[in-house]
Amino acid sequence: MRILIHGINFSPEPVGIGKYSGEMAAWLAGRGHEVRVVTAAPHNPHWRLPPEFNAWKYARERCRPDKLAPESTSEGAAAAKVDVFRCPLWVPRNPNGLRRLLYLASFGLSSWPAMLWQRAWRPDLVLLVEPTLFCSLQTLVVAALSGAKTWLHVQDFEVDAAFELGDLSSSRVRNCALALERKLLQRFDRVSAISERMVERLVSKGVPPSSCVLFPNWVDTAAIYPLPGLSPLRRELGIEEGKIVALYSGSMGKKQGLELLADAARRHASCKDLLYVFSGEGSYRQAFIEKTMDLPNVVHLPLQPSERLNDLLNLADIHLLPQRADAADLVMPSKLTGMLASGRPVVATAQPGTQLAETVQNCGVVVAPGDLEAFTSAILALSTDGDLLLRLGQEARKHALAHLQLDRILVRFEEAVLAACARFEGEPKAERSNGPVTQARTPEPRPH
């Protein structure tokens, strides 16, 4: 099949949506599909471009799947290529409010020529990753001109988030935006989301249940796994043996609710056996460092390269996952998959009944968002109970193996794509005209 992916974030972005989109494209190409991607230059989570990329120029790259995502590609992917078309983009230093809208709109406008050019390629499926819905119209137009099926994959409900998180506040604008979103969602042949609660929200927004697909984020459980001994990072940082590390790793922006972490670290400043480690990048990072720079129990690390991710996640005895109450079920934190695969318990903030609460409740502790007393008490209780740490960590690893494995999730996605594309009905999967797509199988996890 020919699959055209459209989205503002893509590899080599090391975290979040760009990471997952890159891994998806690499995996599909490794399965024999022809894959093209219309995207922007990498800019997340630093909100600036690497020096080798230009924000104001169009560019085309031909990438091997194993270069986009080495851990996500099959053995037969060496000869495959992914065509990546980079479009101009305005990247604000502080992506809040109107600046964020302009940032999204800049890509929505600049990607029109690159998308229209793809109609001559005649894709079988045009897949848009949200954010951003600013790209919906060109996705639908190119699909109509090509006779392709359309698929919207929702990583974030950006319209809801813009109002719930305070970027926009006008009720009239909100009503108009929600009405437009509803019309756009109903135009896609398939709409997927990364959690069951988000799929339910799609139905509430008017998407027919028959068009909805659960397509969760994943983790390579062979690349992220519990180390048999201490993480090398612990020795490099000079962390004493026996000290409990509470780790937050990931994006540092507005929706993460990082103020709670700063307050918790300050509350535990006198606990000599408890150390807070914060690793990541984002628009809020510098302000966050300034809030905690006077604390003796805090270590700040930059975002770690992908080859050191397992060492970083294994640095933790406890993973910290704060989330604002108004972000509940609008997003599902992508960092959670790696936390669980590392075999460490998670202390998360979430309301009862949310997807995050239901996922974490058996492999960590869930407290109400913003409840500092409950949050710090949960961390302290785990830090002093080695048996509980071990048991919850084992449950976390079991959950990752049972529900989050990369190949299993992407095989199911591939099957859903083939089912959605009616032109291939009745044709054996292994005999597609556009490449030697292998039979779908579910690999067994490599032992660790």
Helix axes 98-117, 136-146, angle to 10 degrees: 10
Q: Which pLDDT score is estimated for 297?
A: 95
Cα separation of 166 and 168, whole Å? 5
Distances (CA, A) of 358 to 175, 186, 216, 329, 362: 31, 29, 15, 11, 8
pLDDT tens digits along 263-322 = 999 999 999 999 999 998 888 888 889 999 999 999 999 989 889 999 999 999 999 999
440, burial (CB in 10 Å: exposed 0-12, middle 13-18, buried 19+): middle
In this structure, CATH architecture of domain 232-403: 3-Layer(aba) Sandwich (3.40)
Cα separation of 9 and 19, whole Å? 8
Half-sphere exposure of 442 (CA within 13 A, CB side): 10
pLDDT tens digits along 29-64 = 999 999 999 999 999 888 889 999 998 999 999 988
- Of 1.20.1600.10, 3.40.50.720, 3.40.50.2000, 3.10.180.10, which CATH number belongs to 2-218+405-431? 3.40.50.2000
Cα separation of 288 and 314, whole Å? 23
Return the ∠ at Cα 421 (arms to 104 and 195), rounded to 5°: 50
Q: Is the pLDDT of residue 437 over 90?
A: no
Q: Is the pLDDT of residue 134 over 80?
A: yes
Q: Which pLDDT score is estimated for 163?
A: 77
* Token pair recorded at residue 318: 């406890």
Question: 2-218+405-431 and 232-403: same fold?
Answer: yes
**Residue range 348-357: mean pLDDT, rounded:** 90
Cα separation of 101 and 279, whole Å? 27
Q: Which pLDDT score is estimated for 115?
A: 97
Q: With cut-offs at 50, 70 and 90, classify the pLDDT of residue 116.
A: very high
Q: Which pLDDT score is estimated for 248?
A: 96
Q: Which pLDDT score is estimated for 106?
A: 95
* Token pair recorded at residue 391: 């048991």
Residue ranges of the domains in the chain? 2-218+405-431, 232-403
Q: Which pLDDT score is estimated for 436?
A: 35
pTM: 0.88
For residues 164 and 275, the model is more confident at 275
Q: Which pLDDT score is estimated for 165?
A: 66
* Cβ proximity of 216 and 194 under 8 Å: yes
